[in-house]
C-alpha cells in the first residue's frame, strides 16, 4: 500500500477532489483503450481506476480494441494483414481471426473486472459487466474500387438498451464489432464505436487512452486544452502528428461538435493517468472542449472565498499588501474575476478617482498554476476598457515586486507626489511601493 507522507496532505488532497466527486455522480463517461492495454499486462491497474469511477456513481461505457491480438492471430495463421488507405480490409478468413481475437480480449477484460481480492483496490468491487448487440453496423463498402468486405462503421447505437444496463449499475463493455439487420458481423474501429456511442448517449466525457501524453505543439510542449477551433487548426497545420493523435483528435472534434462536453486524450503508459486527468483541475493530457472555459466577469459576494484563496499566498510572499477582509467584502463590486472551468484563477479591482480622471488598478493577481497564458493581460485590458468607459484618462498601480510586468505593458514610473490627493493620504510609506502610470 502506498503511504501518503503527511496526514494533513492526505486530508487536503482528499477534500480537493470533493467537487469532482459531486459533479461526476450520475454522469456518463465513455472510455476507449486499445488492445495493447491488455497485451502489455497493464490492464490490472486500469481496472482499479475503472472500479473507482464506477464506485463514485459514474455511468461507464468501456470500449476496447484488439488490434495487436488480431495481428498476432493473423500471423499465427500465416495470413497477411491487408490495409487499403489505412483501413483494414476484412475478408472472410480475417473476420474469423477478428472474432476470435476480440472474443479472447473481451474474456480477459471481463475476468479482470471481476477481481475482488481482499486487500486489493478491487475488494468488494462487485462490478457487473454488460455486453450485447448494442451496435448496429453497416459495411464501409467499396472505396476507390476496393471492397472492404467485412470492415464496417457504426450505423446505430441502441441508446435505450445501454441506458437500461447503466440504470442497473452495470458497466457496459463494448467490443469493436457490430451486427447488421441481415445477421452479419462487421469489424469496426474502437474510435468509431467510442465516438458514435458517446454522441448517441450524449455523454459528458469521452476519454481515449493513447500511446503519447497528449497533443503537443510544434516545440513538443503539451497542449492541455484545445477548443474545437484550435484542435481543427492543429489537424490542418502541415505537420506530422503521432499516429494516435491523428486517429483520436478528429474523433474528439467530432464528439465535441455533436455535444459531448469534454474529450480527453491521455497516455496509456502513465499509471493512473485517468484519475489524474479527471480529479485535478490541470489534468495530465489534452482536453478538447467546444469553446473556451474562461469567463471574465464582475465579482459578487459569493466570490470572496475564491478571491481570498488567490490573494493569501501572494500576501504571504509580500507581493500584495494584506487586505482587510471586511473591506474586501464591502468593496467586492470593484472587483472582476477570471474564472477557468468554474474556478477563480485571476482577479483585479478598479478604484476610480473621478476628480483627477484617474483610476487605481489594484490587486491584480493570477493563480501561479495559470501563469503564462495571458490571463493577467486579459484582466488588465478589461480594466483599461472599464476605466475608459468611465471617461478616465490614466491608470496607476502601486507595486513593490512586479514593476517589470507593468513596464513591459506601457506603464511609466511616476512619483507618489503625482498620486490623487485622496490616495496620497493613504499611501503606506513603509511599504515603499513604486507608482506606475499609464495614459489610456
Ligand atoms: N478534471 C477536470 C475534468 O475532468 C479538468 C481536466 C483538465 N484537463 C486538461 N487536460 N486540461 O473535466
The answer to whether residue 78 is domain-embedded is yes
Cβ burial, residue 295 (10 Å; 0-12/13-18/19+): exposed
- DSSP-based three-state secondary structure for 86: coil
Record the cell numbers describing residue 43, joined without a space: 490492464
> Which of 214, 287, 342 is the pocket-test mutation for ligand 1 (most atoms within 8 Å of CB)?
287
Q: Which segment of 70-74, 77-81, 148-152 scores lowest on mean pLDDT?
A: 77-81
Section 57-64 average pLDDT = 98
Cβ distance 319 to 402 under 8 Å?
yes
- Ligand 1 centroid to Cα of residue 283, in Å, is 5
User: Residue 3: its pLDDT value, please?
Assistant: 59
**How far apart are the C-alpha atoms of 243 and 231, rounded to whole Å?**
15
Cβ distance 153 to 138 under 8 Å?
yes
Phi, psi torsion values for 267, nearest 5 degrees? -80, 140
Section 99-111 average pLDDT = 96
- Ligand 1 centroid to Cα of residue 287, in Å, is 6
* Whether pLDDT at 268 is above 90: yes
Record the cell numbers describing residue 24, joined without a space: 461526476
Tell me, yes or no, whether 303 and 206 share the same domain: no
Record the cell numbers describing residue 232, joined without a space: 481543427
User: Residue 41: its pLDDT value, please?
Assistant: 85
User: Does pTM surpass 0.95?
Assistant: no
Q: Which residues, in sequence order, are CB contacts of 296 under 8 Å at separation 6+?
A: 336, 337, 338, 339, 378, 379, 382
Per-residue model confidence as pLDDT tens digits over 322-367: 888 888 999 999 999 999 888 899 999 999 999 999 999 999 999 9
- Ligand 1 centroid to Cα of residue 80, in Å, is 41
Tell me, yes or no, whether 187 and 249 share the same domain: yes
Closest residue to atom 1 of ligand 1, CA basis: 278
* Whether pLDDT at 431 is above 80: no
**How far apart are the C-alpha atoms of 172 and 338, rounded to whole Å?**
39
Per-residue model confidence as pLDDT tens digits over 287-335: 999 887 788 999 999 999 999 999 999 888 888 888 888 889 999 999 9
The alpha carbon dihedral of 201, 202, 203, 206 has a sign of positive
27 alpha carbon, distance to own chain's centre: 15
Q: Which segment of 185-189, 226-230, 323-327, 435-439 scores lowest on mean pLDDT?
A: 323-327
Tell me, yes or no, whether 243 and 298 share the same domain: no
* Whether pLDDT at 188 is above 90: yes
User: Residue 373: its pLDDT value, please?
Assistant: 79
Q: Which segment of 71-85, 179-193, 325-339 scores lowest on mean pLDDT?
A: 71-85
Section 137-151 average pLDDT = 92
Q: Where are the alpha helices (DSSP H) in 260-355?
A: 273-278, 304-316, 325-330
User: Residue 4: its pLDDT value, please?
Assistant: 58
Tell me, yes or no, whether 280 and 344 share the same domain: no
**How far apart are the C-alpha atoms of 119 and 99, rounded to whole Å?**
36
The answer to whether residue 320 is domain-embedded is yes
Domain that holds residue 358: 294-439
Record the cell numbers describing residue 268, joined without a space: 496509456
Tell me, yes or no, whether 339 and 256 share the same domain: no
Tell me, yes or no, whether 359 and 255 share the same domain: no
The answer to whether residue 2 is domain-embedded is no
> Which of 212, 260, 265, 281 is the pocket-test mutation for ligand 1 (most atoms within 8 Å of CB)?
281
User: Residue 2: its pLDDT value, please?
Assistant: 58
**How far apart are the C-alpha atoms of 320 and 316, rounded to whole Å?**
8
Phi, psi torsion values for 31, nearest 5 degrees? -120, 125
Q: Which helix (H) or strand (E) holds 340?
A: strand 335-340
Tell me, yes or no, whether 80 and 224 share the same domain: yes
Closest residue to atom 8 of ligand 1, CA basis: 283
Q: Which helix (H) or strand (E) holds 83?
A: strand 83-84
Tell me, yes or no, whether 316 and 214 share the same domain: no
* Whether pLDDT at 1 is above 60: no
Cβ distance 155 to 136 under 8 Å?
yes
Q: Which segment of 49-53, 216-220, 424-428 scores lowest on mean pLDDT?
A: 424-428
* Whether pLDDT at 264 is above 80: yes
Tell me, yes or no, whether 318 and 197 share the same domain: no
- Ligand 1 centroid to Cα of residue 304, in Å, is 24
Percent of the chain, pLDDT > 70?
99
Cβ burial, residue 344 (10 Å; 0-12/13-18/19+): buried
User: Residue 424: its pLDDT value, please?
Assistant: 81
CATH number at 385 reads 3.40.630.30
The 3-state DSSP composition of the chain as helix, strand, coil percent (nearest 5) reads 40, 25, 35
The answer to whether residue 1 is domain-embedded is no
**How far apart are the C-alpha atoms of 160 and 165, rounded to whole Å?**
9
* Whether pLDDT at 428 is above 90: no
**How far apart are the C-alpha atoms of 207 and 105, rounded to whole Å?**
20
User: Residue 321: its pLDDT value, please?
Assistant: 81
How many domains does the chain fold into?
A: 2
Cβ distance 264 to 287 under 8 Å?
yes
For β-strands 185-187 and 177-179, DSSP reports them as antiparallel
DSSP state of 170: P
- Ligand 1 centroid to Cα of residue 281, in Å, is 5
Tell me, yes or no, whether 185 and 270 share the same domain: yes
Q: Look at residues 21, 28, 146 and name the one whose alpha carbon lies nearest to residue 83.
A: 146
Cβ distance 171 to 113 under 8 Å?
yes
Which numbered atom of ligand 1 lies nearest the CA of 280? Answer: 1
Tell me, yes or no, whether 275 and 378 share the same domain: no
Percent of the chain, pLDDT > 90?
73
Q: Which of 272, 289, 306 is the last residue of a domain?
A: 289
Tell me, yes or no, whether 268 and 252 share the same domain: yes
Record the cell numbers describing residue 381, joined without a space: 485590458
Section 247-270 average pLDDT = 96
When comparing pLDDT for 6 and 176, which is higher?
176
Amino acid at each position: 500500500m502506498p503511504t501518503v507522507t503527511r496526514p494533513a496532505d492526505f486530508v487536503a488532497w482528499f477534500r480537493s477532489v470533493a467537487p469532482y466527486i459531486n459533479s461526476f455522480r450520475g454522469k456518463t463517461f465513455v472510455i476507449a483503450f486499445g488492445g495493447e492495454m491488455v497485451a502489455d499486462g497493464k490492464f490490472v491497474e486500469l481496472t482499479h481506476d475503472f472500479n473507482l469511477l464506477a464506485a463514485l456513481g459514474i455511468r461507464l461505457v468501456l470500449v476496447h480494441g484488439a488490434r495487436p491480438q488480431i495481428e498476432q492471430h493473423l500471423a499465427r495463421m500465416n495470413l497477411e494483414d491487408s490495409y487499403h488507405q489505412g483501413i483494414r480490409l476484412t475478408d472472410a478468413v480475417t473476420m474469423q481471426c477478428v472474432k476470435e481475437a476480440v472474443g479472447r480480449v473481451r474474456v480477459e477484460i471481463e475476468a479482470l473486472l471481476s477481481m475482488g481480492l481482499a486487500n486489493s483496490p478491487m475488494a468488494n468491487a462487485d462490478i457487473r459487466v454488460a455486453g450485447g448487440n448494442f451496435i448496429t453496423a453497416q459495411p464501409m463498402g467499396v472505396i476507390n474500387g476496393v471492397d472492404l468486405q467485412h470492415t464496417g462503421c457504426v450505423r446505430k447505437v441502441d441508446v435505450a438498451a445501454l441506458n437500461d444496463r447503466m440504470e442497473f449499475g452495470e458497466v457496459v463493455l463494448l467490443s469493436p464489432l457490430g451486427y447488421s439487420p441481415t445477421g452479419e458481423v462487421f469489424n469496426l474501429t474502437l474510435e468509431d464505436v467510442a465516438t458514435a456511442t458517446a454522441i448517441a448517449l450524449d455523454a459528458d466525457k469521452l476519454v481515449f487512452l493513447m500511446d503519447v501524453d497528449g497533443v503537443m505543439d510544434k516545440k513538443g510542449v503539451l497542449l492541455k486544452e484545445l477548443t474545437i477551433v484550435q484542435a481543427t487548426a492543429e489537424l490542418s497545420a502541415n505537420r506530422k502528428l503521432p499516429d494516435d493523435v491523428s486517429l483520436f483528435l478528429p474523433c474528439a472534434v467530432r464528439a465535441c461538435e455533436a455535444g459531448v462536453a469534454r474529450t480527453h486524450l491521455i497516455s496509456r503508459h502513465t499509471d493512473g493517468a485517468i484519475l489524474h486527468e479527471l480529479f485535478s483541475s490541470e489534468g495530465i493530457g489534452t482536453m478538447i472542449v467546444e469553446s473556451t472555459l474562461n469567463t471574465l466577469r464582475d465579482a459578487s459576494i459569493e466570490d470572496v472565498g475564491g478571491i481570498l484563496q488567490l490573494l493569501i499566498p501572494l500576501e504571504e510572499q509580500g507581493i500584495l499588501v494584506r487586505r482587510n477582509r471586511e473591506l474586501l467584502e464591502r468593496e467586492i463590486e470593484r472587483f472582476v474575476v477570471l474564472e477557468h472551468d468554474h474556478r477563480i484563477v485571476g482577479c483585479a479591482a478598479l478604484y476610480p478617482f473621478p476628480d483627477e480622471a484617474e483610476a487605481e488598478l489594484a490587486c491584480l493577481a493570477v493563480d501561479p498554476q495559470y501563469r503564462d497564458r495571458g490571463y493577467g493581460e486579459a484582466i488588465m485590458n478589461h480594466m483599461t476598457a472599464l476605466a475608459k468607459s468611465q471617461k478616465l484618462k490614466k491608470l496607476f498601480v502601486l507595486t513593490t515586486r512586479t514593476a517589470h510586468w507593468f513596464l513591459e505593458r506601457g506603464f511609466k514610473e511616476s512619483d507618489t507626489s503625482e498620486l490623487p490627493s485622496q490616495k496620497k493620504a493613504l499611501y503606506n510609506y513603509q511599504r515603499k511601493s513604486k507608482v506606475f502610470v499609464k495614459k489610456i
